[in-house]
Amino acid sequence: MFKFACIFALFTLSFSSFGSADSGSGQIKQEVLDSFESLVSAAKKLDSDLYFQHFDAEKFVGLNSDGTNWNSINDLTPLIVNGFDAIETINSLNFTNVKVSVIDSYTVILVNEYVQSMTLKNGSIINVSGGGSQVWSKRSGNWKIVSVSASSKPNASTP
């Protein structure tokens, strides 16, 4: 009987541990989704200063959709700043598929697909779509992006 009680207690404890991990994982996912929403908001406002507050400038590396590396935040900055400067308005920016995978309490991968329409300062309307993956880290105390991989879909449709 004692052996059965010990096995039952271990079995019960193991399930309660899984429940705690799931609720912790859910909280982590929500924190990263909140940070992602803040990043998207900065992009919609074309605010590069606010946008870059979501990046860990010391650790960042990434992969551009053309296959070239961003070996530091200094490689990504001109692309974002010049891109934002060329846009008059963001007509729409929709994320059609966002998935968050919690690696541990300090590391999360977020993948997404998006469709975007924008009007450039020269009056041209540009429609793009694609996807990306972001590695978010909380080692510095706040969720920050340490890596991005970008991709584009050919023949973007109008959102």
- Tell me if 158 is assigned to some domain: no
pLDDT tens figures, 36-70: 999 999 999 999 999 999 999 999 999 999 999 99
User: How many angstroms separate the CA atoms of 148 and 132, rounded?
Assistant: 7
> Looking at residue 23, what is its pLDDT?
58
Residue 131, strand partner residues: 113, 151
Cα separation, 76 vs 62, in Å, equals 8
127 inside domain: yes
Domain assignment present for 159: no
Closest of 20, 59, 19, 56 to residue 35, by C-alpha: 56
Band of the pLDDT at 19, cuts 50, 70, 90?
very low
**Start-end of H helices in the chain:** 2-44, 48-52, 73-86
* Domain assignment of residue 113, given as a range: 2-152
Q: How many domains does the chain have?
A: 1
pLDDT in tens, 86-136: 999 999 999 999 999 999 999 999 999 999 999 999 999 999 999 999 999
Within a domain: residue 57?
A: yes
**CATH code of residue 99:** 3.10.450.50
User: Which pLDDT value is given to residue 96?
Assistant: 92
Q: Does some domain include residue 117?
A: yes
